[in-house]
Amino acid sequence: MDLELRDKVAVITGGSVGIGLAVAEGLAAEGVHLALCARDEARVVQKAKEIAGQSGVRAIGVRADVSKAEDIERFVAIVEKEFGGADILINNAGTGSGETIMDSTDEKWDYYMDLHLMAAVRLTRALVPFMRKRGGGVILNNASICATQPLYYEPIYNTSKAALAMFSKCAANEFIKDNIRVNLINPGLILTPDWVKTAKQLTQGTDTTWEQYLDKIAKDNAPIGRFATPEELAHFFVFMCSPRASYCVGSSYYVDGGWLKVIT
């Protein structure tokens, strides 16, 4: 199937590792040029170089902390200078939290709302004018199954991702008249390096290996009984960016191996 993505331009936040990197590689394989951002400049610049070298697309890596409005402004200015705008925006950067409501601070709530919600709001406002000029576009917001099925140990993560879900729906309604399709993707257990690092830390000096630890999490939660690879999830992102997904608008798509316990 030709996904008709050649020579489009995609902006991906958190494109230097894990899910964002896999989506970047998947889009590059379809001929999409890339503007990636992350806080660790050396890593994101290096990954962009590697992708450009492997697939022949143009790819840039930019240091930007998307929880900060000024960094987003600077990133978008670079995207405009290098590519004249973008056709695709993937709001992906994010991370788990870990607290109780009673021990949470206003500062922590503010940070996660900036990272998970306001980054998407600000990037959407900045890039939609370019998409309109190009005749349309795609915005994919990467939330989490936790946006609807919360994990007990991270209420801030759950709540900020739920806010992103509602923003996504509102944006879909507002922008479809401009031929801009907005959708939300809710992954379940995706085996990124961060999961491996955590598992190694938690099992150090115990009788359980990190692999056994992760295997138990998968078997306890997802009916499929395993984690997905970032690439398995990225295939779905790439399809959703394509005009082949032209009737997909304003929805939340779960890629979770059956973990969601209800029908929606």
Other beta carbons within 10 angstroms of residue 165's beta carbon come to 17
Q: Is 110 helix (H, G, I), strand (E, B) or coil?
A: helix
- Which of these is catalytic: 153, 157, 213, 253? 157
Does 26 interact with ligand NDP (rule: CB under 6 A)? no
Residue 9 to residue 59: CA distance in whole angstroms? 9
- Which residue in 92, 93, 185, 175 sits closest to 138, CA to CA? 175
**Which residue, 132 or 239, has its beta carbon nearer to ligand NDP?**
239
- Which residue in 71, 86, 69, 94 sits closest to 35, CA to CA? 86
**Which residue, 32 or 255, has its beta carbon nearer to ligand NDP?**
255
Q: How far is the CB of 95 from ligand NDP (least distance, A)?
A: 6
Residues 45-64 that bind ligand NDP (CB under 6 A): 64
Residues 107-146 that bind ligand NDP (CB under 6 A): 115, 142, 144
**C-alpha pair distances (Å), 213 with each of 47, 117, 131, 200, 206:** 29, 31, 44, 9, 11
**Which residue, 4 or 77, has its beta carbon nearer to ligand NDP?**
77
40 Cβ contact partners less than 8 Å away, ≥ 6 residues apart: 16, 63
Give Cα 13 distance to the centre of its chain. Answer: 7
Q: How far is the CB of 43 from ligand NDP (least distance, A)?
A: 6
Assess whether 157 carries a catalytic annotation.
yes
Does 95 interact with ligand NDP (rule: CB under 6 A)? yes
Q: How far is the CB of 15 from ligand NDP (least distance, A)?
A: 6
What residues line the site for ligand NDP (CB under 6 A)? 13-14, 16-20, 37-40, 43, 64-67, 92-95, 115, 142, 144, 187, 189-190, 192-194
**What are the residue numbers of the active site?**
157
